[in-house]
Structure 1
Amino acid sequence: MSTISSSLRPRTLWIGKKRTKSILVIFAVGTACGLYISTFMNASRQPFGKSVKFKYEGRSLLTMFSTWPTPEYPEKYDVRNNTVANWIKFKEFFTPIYFTNDENLKHAVEKGGWKTLPVTKVGSGNDLPVFKNLFLDAMKHYDSWFYGFASGDIMFTEGLIKTLLALIRIPEFRDKVILLVGQRTNVDNVTMEEATNFETLKKISKDRGQLWTPLAEDYFITSKNFPWGELLDVVSGRCGMDNFIVMESLDRGYIVIETTQTILAVHHTSVGGNNENLRKPNANYNMDLIKKFYGRKPYNYSKGRTICANYFSEFLNKHTIIFSKKSKSVC
């Protein structure tokens, strides 16, 4: 990759060009006073669903995974099928992985083009996966710049890839521990046709979607050096896990970026509604575990909202993403 340097008050401007068989991205990155800018000259032409794997400096961009139990009611099958079909549209940039010990679900998801891995550690008495082990196991099997989890009813558009491509080209962030989180947009009754067309997915999010509370986080994307092994054994799918991870990351001084404005995360709302986890068995399992470990009464989960992140991303225009450091915390 060729690079040209020139002065930029008070730091540096980098301009370069990256070409592969299937993608051309021209970018400029500038930094000043906690402001990081990455520009994609032809990002709107990025092809998705190609068989050629995109590599950046010899490494995959992202390893993305999810997990879910056997659907509780028929409508949930449509939700999971939409997620499987949506994620496989990104196969040029990542191979979707499904964690399960259910052989029937394993074979069904593999037919949709996903890879599968077994759940190696569970908790809560309901055989729910210990969240950190999903990341640790994914890292053992796949090498990439970023590792991400999203709930089994979350669908994305190209903003996911644009954000990561922009972030990876910022030199100051290269060796930092990074966590990306954001709010989801709830949309009722998403069809397969809507789930597999990015432009349509964006349109229905505007027309009939609702941006959900910053207290709920449904995706987590981290740098490879995120120390998952040091965290508590909170489980996937129960209350408190999301806010705990954000709070821990902020307390440890990590870079936490709220990406709501650049990553559209569409939540396919079905008959279960938007607060299903509150009605699950052992709904407070994580919160009890956290309280026992830290002895805080009460534990202030509001400090783990998306808006508590110390950075945020936004589009300057359709080809340019800005990462800004917040001058002060709102939490």
Structure 2
Amino acid sequence: MAVGYFLGKRTLVFVLLSMYLLTLYFIHGYYSMLTYNRHRREPFERVLQDKEDMTSFSCSKLVAHLKKQSLMHTDAVLLHRLAKCKINIRNVNPTDGIHRTHLDKNRKRNIDNIRDSFSRKHLHRESKTDNEKNMVNNRNKFTRKQLQHTNCICNKKTDKAPLLVLFSTWSDNMSGRIRDNTCYNWRSLRPLVQPVLFTNSSSARRECEKNGWSVLPLRQTAAGGAPVLKVMFAEVLRRFNSTIYGFSNGDILFGENLLKTLVAVEETFGAEKRPLLLIGTRTNVVNVTSPEASSFSNLQVASKKRGKLFIHQSQDYFITNKAFPWSDIPGVVVGRRGYDNWIVINSILKQHTVIDATETILAVHQTTRKGIYEGHSRPYPDYNTKLLARYHKTIRYVAGSTRCAGIITKYSVKGNIFALKRNSVPKFCKNPYP
């Protein structure tokens, strides 16, 4: 009895001590991540601290103030008030488009020119008073930095460079409904995102150009007509002036959180000269309808009801900065297996900034009867793996998983997006070339 009681007491002490040590370990890891995020650079987004009461102001007084002085970058409160005046400024309805609570009022990058991104039926009509017309004239004089605090969508056209040039290519056997859904969805991301299609089809060219896409010819293919990825990247880098460039499969639809993630990533990592690679895992949704693809809110609902997150070894989009060395990448083709994992492996080994944005970017794969492994049934499915075998005899492709990225993006409690260093990566991420 005494021996059993003694052993039971020792076991209880051991369990309690283990729980105490585990608690200390998790607390230490949590604060280590916060310290990394705070000291790396400024947080992605801050919440505007209004110094004055936002309820007592009039647009007429604001116009009079604008006539007397020019706005400076520090006039955040005044600019926020300007956004509330319905003067040629189109405020987004919370049911369709970017939620006002999600658009940071202290954002460094201007996102006032996201017109055409969302449904016009929710936009306020233009007011016609004299004071409001004066406000419009004054507003046209503002710079991008001066207007960065406004939560608005403006109908003023701009020729400024987009934040992202996103390109794709369509296979000949892709259904027309999927093409139409992609065409409309990507058009909704303009003008922050400029969609580009590589094709030699005249019908696809006409349809996409009608919806604001840029269309370029396919210049180099392999493996039975599959486009070479590095050649397409070289072409968009040569033709377009943008901050970041990306490729996505043609059957992927994006949510509005793509824009917020891009702004956050550009603000935090834009000044870095190191190559940057943004990846993520898609969500498979069977039979996406046209109404579901027509708005971001409908797409979000469909993904929650019928969506299933795909395996982390598969990537359907690659977003990079100008420093990414695409010229050094082998001539892999899209639509065939293996190339996505190798690009992630190569980027990690070369110590590029690799970010897993699965948690903040909704990428919906329009799944059809063909299933979720269409690349395995196309001609020359092993083209990429055989090509990469010339460089490395054995490749553990699982090491190119999204879970092997060193940085992830997450939502804060207030709905802002921030970066976080991953505590640890799985064991299969190590030693990709055994």
TM-score between the two structures when normalised by the length of structure 1: 0.83
Distance 2:409 2:38 in 1: 21
Cα drift, residue 236 of structure 1: 0.8
Distance 1:171 1:79 in 2: 34
Contact 2:360-2:411 within 8 A present in 1 as well:
yes
Contact 1:121-1:130 within 8 A present in 2 as well:
yes
Of 285, 306, 326, the residue aligned with 2:402 is: 306
Distance 1:186 1:114 in 2: 25
TM-score between the two structures when normalised by the length of structure 2: 0.64
Of 409, 412, 418, the residue aligned with 1:316 is: 412
Contact 2:185-2:294 within 8 A present in 1 as well:
yes
Encode CA deviations 1:213-272: one digit per residue, 9 max, x unaligned: 011100110011111000000001100011011111111100110000000000111121
Contact 1:42-1:319 within 8 A present in 2 as well:
no
Distance 1:171 1:256 in 2: 11
Cα drift, residue 128 of structure 1: 1.2
Cα drift, residue 295 of structure 1: 2.1
Matched, 1:26 2:105: yes
Encode CA deviations 1:180-235: one digit per residue, 9 max, x unaligned: 10000010111111102111111110111100001110011001111100000000
- Where in structure 2 are the equivalents of 1:107-146 lying within 5 Å? 107-124=206-223, 126-146=224-244
Letter matched to residue 114 of structure 1: W
Distance 2:400 2:38 in 1: 34
Matched, 1:64 2:166: yes
Q: Which moved more, 1:140-149 or 1:167-176?
A: 167-176
Distance 2:327 2:373 in 1: 29
Partner of 1:101: 200
Contact 1:54-1:93 within 8 A present in 2 as well:
no
Encode CA deviations 1:260-306: one digit per residue, 9 max, x unaligned: 0000000111121111111111000000101122222xx10000011
Residue 10 to residue 226, structure 1, CA distance change in 2 (3 Å)? closer
Residue 172 to residue 69, structure 1, CA distance change in 2 (3 Å)? closer
Question: Hey, which bits of structure 1, 4+ residues long, moved more than 4 A?
Answer: 8-25, 45-48
Distance 2:368 2:171 in 1: 16
Encode CA deviations 1:141-186: one digit per residue, 9 max, x unaligned: 1011110111111001111110011111126753221101000001
Which structure is higher in helix share?
2
How many residue pairs align between the two structures?
A: 302
Instruction: Point out where structure 1 has 5 or more consecutive residues left out of the alignment.
Output: 1-7, 30-40
Identical pairs, percent: 35
Residue 128 to residue 328, structure 1, CA distance change in 2 (3 Å)? same
Partner of 1:261: 359
Residue 187 to residue 118, structure 1, CA distance change in 2 (3 Å)? same
- Where in structure 2 are the equivalents of 1:1-80 lying within 5 Å? 13=42, 25-27=104-106, 47=153, 52-53=157-158, 59-71=161-173, 76-80=175-179
Cα drift, residue 133 of structure 1: 1.2
Task: Determine helix, strand or coil for the equivalent of 1:283.
Answer: coil
Distance 2:364 2:104 in 1: 26
- RCO higher in structure (CA 8 A, sep ≥6): 1
Cα drift, residue 54 of structure 1: 8.6
Which structure is higher in strand share?
1
Partner of 2:423: 327
CA RMSD in angstroms, aligned pairs only: 2.8
Task: Determine helix, strand or coil for the equivalent of 1:101.
Answer: coil
Distance 2:38 2:358 in 1: 29
Partner of 2:371: 273
